[in-house]
A and B are shown apart, each in its own frame.
Chain A
Amino acid sequence: MEIEILEVDDREGRFMLSGSTAAFSNGLRRGMMAEVPTMAIDDVNIYENGSVLFDEQIALRLGLIPLVTDLDSYVLNCDCEEGCTSCQVSMTLNVEGPAVVYSSDLVSSDPNIIPAEDKIPIVELKSGQKLYVEVVARLGLGKNHAKWQPVVACGYKNKPVITITECDGCGECVEVCPKGILSIDESTNKVTVSDEIECSLCKLCEKACYLDGIHAGSKEDVFIFRYESDGSLPADKIPLLAVKQLREKAEQFIEGLK
Chain B
Amino acid sequence: MIPVRCFTCGKIISNVWEEYRERVKKEESAKVLDDLGIKRYCCRRMLITHVPLVDTFAPYQ
Contacts and interface: CB of A to CB of B under 8 A. Distances in A.
A and B: real partners?
yes
Interface of A: 50, 52-53, 61, 64-66, 103, 117-124, 126, 129, 146, 149, 152-153, 228, 230-231
A124 B17 CA distance: 13
Contact of B12 (A50, A117, A124, A149): A117
Given A52-B58, A61-B4, A123-B1, A149 B15 contact: no
B51 interface: no
Nearest to B42: A153
Interface of B: 1-2, 4-6, 9-12, 14-18, 40, 53-54, 57-58, 61
Q: Chain A: interface secondary structure?
A: loop
A117 to B, nearest CB: 5
Please list the 9 inter-chain residue pairs (A to B) with the smallest Cβ-Cβ separation, ordered nearest first: A64-B4, A152-B10, A52-B57, A119-B15, A124-B54, A153-B9, A117-B15, A126-B58, A152-B11
Contacts of B10: 146, 149, 152-153, 230
Contacts of B4: 61, 64-65, 120
Contacts of A118: 15
Given A65-B4, A119-B15, A124-B54, A129 B61 contact: yes
Contacts of B58: 52, 126
B12 A120 contact: yes
Scoring A118, A120, A124, A129 by chain B CB atoms within 10 A of each residue's CB, the highest score goes to A120
B51 to A, nearest CB: 14
Contacts of B61: 50, 52, 126, 129
Nearest to A101: B1
A61 B9 CA distance: 16
Nearest to A151: B10
A230 B12 contact: yes
Contact of A52 (B16, B18, B40, B54): B54
A122 B54 CA distance: 12
Contact of B5 (A50, A53, A64): A64
A64 B18 CA distance: 18
Contacts of A146: 10
A124 B56 CA distance: 12
Nearest to A119: B15
